Amino acid sequence: MITPDTDKISVTLIAGDDSKNNNFGELPQPAQLSGYVYEDAHDDGVKGVGETAIGGVTVTLLDADGNTVATATTDDVGYYEFTGLAAGTYTVVESQPDDYLDGKDTASNGAVITPDTDKISVTLMLVMTVKITTLVNCRNPRNYPVMFMKTLTMTVLKV
């Protein structure tokens, strides 16, 4: 019997029974992407202490085909975010704020900046670690039955 949303499977076995495939399917956490729009007083592409946030800027998230996935508007501290994203390749596009010239854009590890376009492309990967434990039944050199547990941990990357 499976108890919904509890990660529990109840199994009653009697002698000679074989209960296989009592498996737990898991879903990876959705990805997110976020950043800031700010006045880069030092023109170094690094958001430093005291640099003025720019609120009200529209930031657009595009999929790998250039289709709009979502838009966000920066808040009063210049912050924007996109949440609940599937793994994939995205491009973030800033609408140039009025009264500002384009500065240096910076991206997280693995992201690519397209010069002079206010575009940052990033590939998000969902990572899931799965631990599989199996009971192994074998015989030792003296032909006595031996049972032991073998555990394998693997990481699954989905792009």
Q: What is the pLDDT of residues 61-96, one digit of tens each?
A: 988 898 999 999 999 999 999 988 887 888 888 888
Average confidence (pLDDT) over 92-110? 80
Q: Are strands 88-94 and 119-124 parallel, antiparallel or unpaired?
A: antiparallel
- Which percentage of the chain shows pLDDT scores above 90? 14
- Which percentage of the chain shows pLDDT scores above 70? 65
Q: b/e map of 77-96 (b: 16 or more CB within 10 Å)?
A: ebebebeebeebebbbbbee
Cβ atoms within 10 Å of 105's Cβ, excluding its own: 20
Q: What is the pLDDT of residues 115-147, one digit of tens each?
A: 555 666 666 554 444 444 444 445 555 555 544
**How many residues does the structure list for the chain?**
159
Single-letter amino acid code for the residue at 155: T
Q: Is the pTM of this model over 0.75?
A: no
Task: Say how far residue 56 (Cα) sits from the centre of its chain.
Answer: 26
Q: How far apart are CA 28 and CA 44, in angstroms?
A: 36
How far is residue 12 from each of residues 16, 21, 43, measured CA to CA in Å? 12, 14, 67
DSSP H helix total and E strand total for the chain: 0, 11
Map out the domains of the chain with their CATH numbers.
Answer: 31-40+51-125 (2.60.40.10)
Q: How far apart are CA 148 and CA 135, in angstroms?
A: 6
